[in-house]
């Protein structure tokens, strides 16, 4: 991964050193930017400069050893899961995997119970010994059918009724998003199923694993290419005039690219509080959720469960949602989607720039979906036989998980 400074980048690709322009500048060294950069360099032999304003690659999936030597995720827990074998095959060029199935407990009414709600959750909370069929009837009696399901409140109430909604979803969602579930698109809480079996896995995807040596090592392998230069600690807006390139792929916030000229797209941020404890383990699973609105954080993550690392101490992260700070979550609701459509129209008529990734296309995408989006963009570029002018249309339609 040839890491360059601005002076060198402004002279053009270090693979040549003859002052010719880069074929592509890619803004953002997260999944979106790293995958498209690797494909353009390796697949089409193009010279690419990847820029990130952070001092590291990997975007929000960045992991590293903390001061105690424990592997942690700087921006909260990242668990890889997908149903798309094509995406597993692609990423497997850059990493081996550690099998890992994610399990989460929620602290509710003095109990630690599985979330997604399952048979164990119901029996524990209500002091019952139901079997699967009884649990189905139990939930059916509580469910309050909603005719037209539009919001994140509708989805849950329709499935499990008020009481469980309030215990597990309302407080958590209000904290996480600063909005009531009734103000959020149904897609948000639809991510969490309800089960009447004992299956306590958070995800049911066919492939669930962690990169064996961590995400950052996987990104290093991806970007380690003679035709890829990487410029870190650098905001694109501040250097764009000094760089010479044919095409731009922008994986930062789309509203920021356009100077917020149509108004700000709302993003939700998080404050991460990282701690190391002088004990080998804190909790039984990697993540414990705290849906109670009176508790200021949403969840605590203990990384050793994810990584399998042996260490006498353990490192954990508290997540405190907040309005200001790095843009972590696009907020799925109708008025934000409408504003995004106006930015997208602007993007479509901006030649030479393509927007990609969670921030570039304002989509609440998981990692595998972002990889799928980047691979789809690459396919379009490859088929066009030349750099494709800026349009996000085809990429928009893609949902690699096919759910």
- By CB under 6 A, residue 75 contacts ligand FAD: yes
Least spacing, CB of residue 338 vs ligand FAD, in Å? 22
Stretch that binds ligand FAD, among 22-30, 63-71, 277-285, 294-302 (CB under 6 A): 22-30
Which partner from the list ligand FAD, ligand UDP, none does 176 bind, CB cut-off 5 to 8 Å by kind?
ligand UDP
Instruction: Choose the stretch contacting ligand FAD; rule: CB under 6 A; options: 54-62, 126-134, 167-175, 293-301.
Output: 54-62
The residue from 12, 59, 114, 321 that contacts ligand FAD (CB under 6 A) is 59
> Between 13 and 30, whose beta carbon lies closer to ligand FAD?
30
- Answer yes or no whether residue 76 interacts with ligand FAD by CB under 6 A: yes
Counting contacts by CB under 6 A, is residue 191 touching ligand UDP? yes
Q: Which is nearer to ligand UDP, 306 or 381 (CB)?
A: 306
User: Binding to ligand FAD by residue 28, rule CB under 6 A?
Assistant: yes
Of the candidate spans 1-9, 71-79, 129-137, 309-317, the one that interacts with ligand FAD by CB under 6 A turns out to be: 71-79
The minimum distance between CB 130 and ligand FAD, in angstroms, equals: 31
CB of 302 to ligand FAD, least distance (A): 14
**In what side-by-side order are the strands of the sheet with 22-27?**
228-231, 48-51, 22-27, 245-250, 353-355
Region near ligand UDP per CB under 6 A, out of 49-57, 65-73, 172-180, 390-398: 172-180
Enumerate residues 338-377 that contact ligand FAD by CB under 6 A: 357-359, 365-368, 370
Q: Which residues bind ligand UDP (CB under 6 A)?
A: 106, 115, 168-169, 172-173, 176, 188-189, 191-192, 289, 291
Q: Which residues bind ligand FAD (CB under 6 A)?
A: 27-33, 51-54, 59-61, 75-79, 235-237, 251-252, 270, 328, 357-359, 365-368, 370
């Amino acid at each position: 991964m040839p890491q360059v400074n601005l002076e060198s980048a402004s002279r053009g690709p270090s693979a040549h050193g003859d002052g010719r322009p880069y074929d592509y500048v890619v803004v953002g060294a997260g999944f979106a930017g790293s995958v498209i950069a690797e494909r353009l360099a390796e697949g089409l032999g193009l010279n690419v400069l990847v820029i990130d304003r952070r001092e590291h690659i990997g975007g929000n999936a960045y992991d590293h050893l903390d001061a105690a030597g424990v592997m942690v995720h700087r921006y909260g827990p990242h668990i890889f899961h997908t149903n798309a074998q094509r995406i597993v095959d692609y990423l497997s060029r850059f990493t081996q995997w550690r099998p890992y199935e994610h399990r989460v407990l929620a602290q509710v009414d003095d109990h630690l119970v599985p979330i997604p709600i399952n048979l164990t959750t119901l029996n524990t909370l209500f002091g019952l010994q139901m079997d699967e069929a009884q649990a189905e009837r139990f939930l059916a009696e509580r469910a309050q059918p909603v005719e037209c399901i539009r919001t994140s409140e509708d989805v849950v109430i329709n499935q499990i009724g008020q009481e469980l909604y309030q215990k597990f979803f309302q407080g958590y969602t209000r904290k996480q998003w600063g909005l009531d579930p009734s103000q959020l698109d149904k897609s948000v809480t639809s991510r969490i199923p309800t089960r009447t079996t004992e299956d306590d896995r958070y995800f049911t995807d066919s492939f669930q694993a962690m990169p064996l040596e961590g995400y950052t090592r996987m990104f290093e392998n991806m970007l380690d290419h003679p035709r890829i230069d990487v410029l870190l600690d650098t905001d694109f807006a501040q250097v764009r005039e000094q760089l010479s390139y044919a095409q731009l792929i922008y994986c930062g916030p789309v509203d920021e690219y356009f100077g917020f000229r149509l108004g700000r797209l709302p993003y939700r941020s998080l404050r991460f509080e990282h701690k190391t404890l002088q004990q080998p383990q804190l909790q039984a699973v990697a993540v414990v959720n705290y849906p109670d609105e009176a508790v200021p954080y949403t969840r605590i993550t203990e990384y050793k469960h994810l990584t399998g690392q042996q260490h006498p101490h353990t490192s954990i992260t508290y997540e405190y949602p907040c309005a200001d700070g790095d843009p972590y979550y696009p907020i799925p609701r109708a008025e934000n989607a409408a504003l995004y459509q106006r930015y997208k129209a602007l993007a479509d008529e901006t030649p030479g720039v393509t927007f990609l990734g969670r921030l570039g296309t304002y989509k609440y995408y998981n990692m595998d979906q972002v990889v799928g989006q980047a691979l789809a963009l690459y396919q379009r570029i490859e088929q066009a036989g030349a750099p494709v002018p800026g349009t996000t249309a085809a990429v928009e339609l893609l949902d690699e998980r096919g759910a």
